[in-house]
Structure 1
Amino acid sequence: MTESNISSQEIVPDAVDTANRYRMTVDLNVLDHLGINLYSNIAAVLTEAVANAWDADAENVEITIDPDGKWIKIVDDGIGMDVADMNDKYLRVGYRRREEDDPYGRTTAKGRRVMGRKGLGKLSLFSIADQIDVQSSKNGQAHGLRMSVEGIKASVQRKEPHYSPDALPVDDIDVEKGTKIVLKEIKRQRLARGAAALRMRLARRFSVIGELYQFKISIDGQPVTTDDRGDLRITQFLWTMGDFEPEATSIPKVLEQEKLPNRFDGWEASWNVDGWIGTARTPKQLDSEDTGNLNGIVVFARGRLFHENILDKLNDGRLYTKYLTGQIEADFLDDDDLADIATSDRQRVQEDDPRYAALLAFLRSRLGEVERRWSEWRRKHEVKDAQETSPALKEWFESLPEGFRKSAESLIAKLSALPVDDQEDRKLLYQHGILAFERMRIRGSAEELVESVHNVDKLLAVLADRDALEASLYRDIVKSRLDAIKDFQGLVDEDAKERVLQQYLFEHLWLLDPSWERATGSEIIESRLLSDGVIVEDLTEKERLGRVDIAYRTNAGKHIIVELKKAGRKMKLLELQEQGQTYVDKLKKILLVQGETTPNIEVVFVIGKHVEDEKDNPDRVKASMAAISQGSRIVHYDSLIAGAENSYSEYLEHSKTLDRLGSIVDRL
């Protein structure tokens, strides 16, 4: 027989029992991973002890913390354990009560749905203590034991198959009913912030606290209540599901409330979600030193924490999520007949399970409804509060056309939703928001601004738009022109007009002609005109010529000489013509040296009193000015001001609105 013809069965010795050939053993080292290093905080550890008390039908669980942090004591009045129960159930790692305990594995004698499942919770105590004393009394018989990390490690070193805790001395046993656990040699870094914080954290880990469930928890003599959760009492808007109905005293700040469907059509009959989702008025209210951040949705199953914050798994980055808090109950996640999807520390779940996926889909759908209603309620109440706080803001709303008010309200509501704590900063936010809204309204994109408030990149793109920027700059330019015009308005005294006009005219030649807004000077030509006597600095000479001042400017290839005459000086037409011709002749000589042979020159005389022939023979006046150079002319103080007002009449009208808006913004 060749080697290739030998079957695998033929090479197995007959003496070997293949049925018992292999075996799996569990080393005590596993305790390091399952207990000592599994849990990270005291609240998570005590949750396991409290859950065991619930499963033992206890009505009271009393937790006492040594002021010096040396020990923690947990006492319940449940059914207790005898020695057999202690060995077979409590000390047996991995004891599965729901499958192995008949008849009370799934439902206790009092009808409670059992919380425990993996049989690992008792090991969590080693996460915060190196020594654990357990006493229990059942049917009048009390006993107790002591476990220690040191003892477990010694058994591991000796390679023993099991760990044997020490029996407590009879004199040390004082429990009369239920179970007493004393944690000693506390790891101080796990004690967190103390009893007050622990009370709030435990309150957020159980939904079966209080008279309704005949289950009371106390810490240092103070009861743990649903109010300790700290979330409902700061909730502004509330959405409830299923049978959850809060008492009015527990929701003092709720302004709006709505009921949401608690299941999807097509779900199994036993699947539903009870509880509530709420939003705070500001994100800061959700940041608690004692409980940590309340910005999340806690998931319970069978009355205890199943998922610390499922909101993180929804991947919803919209602003409203920063205001969310809530607690929901989804018992179908912990169905007796289906796989256990809780992680070992029972604070998260296996995310690939269909039940978990169904819950995520349900929450996404419901939160979509929450977001839409939140925006509506937020606009309603925040705008109302803002108007009550600032009458100027109310005035702004009322000044808007009806079609823009809803968008404006949305803007203020969204701005109020931004996480800004300082009220002065919020006022500044409103001011900039109003100005931006008005600017965008003019160009028909106010709604775009409102929609961009919470998208920084989009908002910057909107505000940096070239047209919007140009409109803003144009307003700044024209505002300076309005300041000049307003300075002239109402002036009767000629000397006063003269002073004001002198102040503005040579730097703002748009007063003479709106197209001259970019007129500039030339230091070289001005110096030559000065040396040739056209521009004079001697006050006596200015008086002789009847001048206030003279200036040279250029604009778009045109050379402009402007002479401002004293308002009270009566000028003769011939006098003006002679002076103007002199200016032109001298300027032409200067420009010829620079290579300009046919310059375009205008001379403008600004005077207070009319010259002869202006009324009776205007053609003569026009011809005399044309003789100086084409485009030269006489302008009067009053007509100059009136012309400027007329050129900017439309903007003057808009300025009244802007002035009113400025007043509103300043008074915010």
Structure 2
Amino acid sequence: MENDDQYTLDYAPSAVQHLGVGLYKQLPQALIELITNCWDADATKVNIHVDYTQRTITVADNGNGMTHDELNMDFLRVARNRRTNSRSGLSPNGRKVTGKKGLGKLALFGIANRIQVCSIKDNKKNSFEMNFNVIQNTPDNRKYHPLALHVNEDTSESNGTSITINDLTVHRITPIKNLVNALSKRFDKYSKSNFLVTVTDNKDYIKELDESAFKESIKPSKVEYTYVFPDDFEQDIKRDNALKELKNRDISGEVFTGPTPLPASAQGFSVLSRGKLSSEHSVSQFNERSNDYFYSYATGYFDIDFIDDDLKNDYISTDRQSILWNATDDLMQLRSNLGKLIALIVRRWKADRKAAKTERTKQTLHSLDAVNKVLNSPNLTESDRELLEKTTDILEDDKSSISSHEKKKILELTSKHTDAYKRDNSVYLELIPKNFSVPNTVGSKIRRLREEMVSAATDENNTDKFILSQGLLLRALLDTTTSAVLIKNREELCSLHILNKNEGKNENTIYNIKLGKRYKYLVYYLAAKGKLSNSNSKNVIVGDFNRLNVTSHLDQLMHDDERWPTFKTLKEIWDSLCPNLLKAFELL
């Protein structure tokens, strides 16, 4: 019979190596097992103290504590499913118990050789020390008895349990701030009033883990969007059975996205059950083909308690790194439903980002005076607007490394290449009438000639080049427009006796008509179509054309390398031709 004063590890000593040491090799994972034990013991305060000099760690709580018998039956009895021995898996105070397999305490031997356990309950103190080296040397046909330190010793101390981890075997103890962050990520029941965990070290560091700890540990440093289930999806839940099923099973969660891609270690989603991490962060948590760029921006979690509610079957891996999704049809369906929820979030995220980018583009464009003037110019064309918006879209891409100053310079340079800027800022602005524009219904050649005119009108340093380009382009525009109108309407022109049969025979015969005569026919046709103010104005218009020697001046530019029309002459020609060209465009 065992000595009643003894502590006994109720398992083959060799099993400790297989079940415990190999379970966790990192400090945070091992410590979280102790924190959740404190939760299961109804503790409201827990203190974790790390002494980096002495290489010891103490975890102390103010929970229910354990008697000598309870230490033997509950703590030292390995693989005991405590949920089957409690009120439907609840603690004495009604908390959902997180422990299940009874292996967590063995995990401590993955990071240390000696563990001291001290528990006080009902004014009795009991404590012992487990030594991994002694456990290893204990034959399987014998029981291992931890070293008794206190057995039912009277005390006035309050109930609670403390575990001291000595002789750490990890080469480097996790830095305190990293440790706090890792503990925060693995549990979501911290609370100032109900379960406050305080982490301290031997250099006076102190950090309280409360309600904000978990979310703050997984959220990006800058959050662009947050999607909360089920709160943000009530309308979708009404339409989608998959989402409806998730809500009916009390599944909740949040997805956070950053404005730029997150570090790889921060990407993906985790699953919590009863507040405890059940599955590590993973981008493929709910979809094996998660290759959408959304996943590099997103992080989040989902609370799925029912996964861990089964008192007999276990669907969470022992190291709590993953969920056995393929274990049952129910879990496979659950994963599929969660995948559909994520797909919906992806669509929302893309729409939100597109809308935000459009707004940023608008704000950026209107924040620069030079660009703003172009956007508000009466000469702004649709191609101008598209050029500026597309340029801004590229510059506002979150993958762009271009500085704000460089973006400003690029946009200002781009604005100077717009038609509106060229027309508004040309030295020869007064040459081209402000109301002259070519509608989109007119052929592409005529519209292109107009664009070339605007482009050429900004050469401020070379007057001869300007006169040459504008004169030649005007000659081409006049030639093309008159020919296009006569060719398109030649049958009607013949019936009106404006064209004779030989002239209107085909396209080539029209091309052979001299420019002055073609312009005359165009004006007569405009009069016949009621486009002129009165019937006599056609003769005035034709007379002006001849008086200004339009053909002669424009032909000089092509044939005479000595003589140039003056700016004044070119201006008079433009003013004379512009109203009739605009009316001609209406006939095309």
* 1:351 paired to 2:325: yes
Structure 1, residues 405-459: CA drift from partner, whole Å, max 9, x if none?
A: 8999799668645334563598399869x89xx9xxxxxxxxxxxxxxxxxxxxx
Report the AA paired with residue 272 of structure 2: F
Report how far residue 634 of structure 1 moved: 3.8
Report the AA paired with residue 354 of structure 2: R
Equivalence for 2:72 = 87
Equivalence for 1:317 = 291
1:69 and 1:207 mapped to 2: Cα distance? Answer: 30
Equivalence for 1:300 = 272
Aligned pairs (5 A) from 1:92-491: 92-99=77-84, 101=85, 103-104=86-87, 106-155=89-138, 158-168=139-149, 176-189=158-171, 191-192=173-174, 194-211=175-192, 214-220=194-200, 221-228=206-213, 229-230=215-216, 231=219, 234-242=222-230, 264=242, 267=245, 271-283=249-261, 286-287=262-263, 293-313=265-285, 314=287, 315-337=289-311, 339-353=313-327, 354-389=329-364, 391-392=367-368, 416=396, 418-420=398-400, 423-424=403-404, 427=407, 482=456, 487-489=461-463
SS of aligned partner of 1:62: strand
Report how far residue 33 of structure 1 moved: 3.1
Is the contact made by 2:32 and 2:186 (CA closer than 8 Å) also made in structure 1? yes
SS of aligned partner of 1:427: helix
SS of aligned partner of 1:29: helix
Is the contact made by 2:51 and 2:57 (CA closer than 8 Å) also made in structure 1? yes
1:406 and 1:372 mapped to 2: Cα distance? Answer: 26
Report how far residue 403 of structure 1 moved: 11
Aligned pairs (5 A) from 1:611-622: none
1:429 and 1:96 mapped to 2: Cα distance? Answer: 68
Unaligned runs of 5+ in 1: 1-24, 244-256, 439-473, 490-496, 515-614, 623-631, 646-668
1:369 and 1:404 mapped to 2: Cα distance? Answer: 36
Report how far residue 271 of structure 1 moved: 1.7
Equivalence for 2:29 = 44
| Residue of 19, 24, 45 corresponding to 1:60 | 45
Is the contact made by 1:69 and 1:186 (CA closer than 8 Å) also made in structure 2? no
SS of aligned partner of 2:18: helix
Structure 1 residues 309 and 208, CA gap change in structure 2 (3 angstroms): same
User: How many residue pairs get matched?
Assistant: 444
2:349 and 2:386 mapped to 1: Cα distance? Answer: 15
1:77 and 1:396 mapped to 2: Cα distance? Answer: 70
Report how far residue 222 of structure 1 moved: 2.8
Is the contact made by 1:64 and 1:219 (CA closer than 8 Å) also made in structure 2? yes
Structure 1, residues 38-94: CA drift from partner, whole Å, max 9, x if none?
A: 213222111111111111111111111114261111001111122222222211221
Report how far residue 111 of structure 1 moved: 1.0
Aligned pairs (5 A) from 1:592-631: none
User: What is the TM-score when the length of structure 2 is the normalising length?
Assistant: 0.61
SS of aligned partner of 1:226: coil
2:221 and 2:283 mapped to 1: Cα distance? Answer: 20
Aligned pairs (5 A) from 1:478-627: 482=456, 487-489=461-463, 497=464
* 1:638 paired to 2:555: no
Equivalence for 1:21 = none
Is the contact made by 1:45 and 1:124 (CA closer than 8 Å) also made in structure 2? yes
SS of aligned partner of 1:95: coil
Q: What's the C-alpha RMSD, in Å, of the aligned pairs?
A: 5.2
Structure 1 residues 26 and 215, CA gap change in structure 2 (3 angstroms): closer
SS of aligned partner of 1:377: helix
Is the contact made by 2:242 and 2:340 (CA closer than 8 Å) also made in structure 1? no
Structure 1 residues 142 and 337, CA gap change in structure 2 (3 angstroms): closer
Structure 1 residues 486 and 418, CA gap change in structure 2 (3 angstroms): same
| Residue of 55, 71, 74 corresponding to 2:56 | 71
Which one scores higher on RCO, CA 8 angstroms, separation ≥ 6? 2
Report how far residue 188 of structure 1 moved: 4.2
Is the contact made by 2:266 and 2:281 (CA closer than 8 Å) also made in structure 1? no
Choose 1 or 2 for highest CA Rg. 1
Report how far residue 274 of structure 1 moved: 1.2
SS of aligned partner of 1:327: strand
2:401 and 2:27 mapped to 1: Cα distance? Answer: 32
Report the AA paired with residue 235 of structure 1: V
Is the contact made by 1:281 and 1:323 (CA closer than 8 Å) also made in structure 2? yes
Structure 1 residues 485 and 426, CA gap change in structure 2 (3 angstroms): closer
Is the contact made by 1:260 and 1:366 (CA closer than 8 Å) also made in structure 2? no
Unaligned runs of 5+ in 2: 1-9, 201-205, 419-447, 477-547, 572-588
Structure 1, residues 90-132: CA drift from partner, whole Å, max 9, x if none?
A: 1122111112x1x436111111111111111111112222211
Identity percentage of aligned residues? 23
SS of aligned partner of 2:13: coil
2:340 and 2:126 mapped to 1: Cα distance? Answer: 53
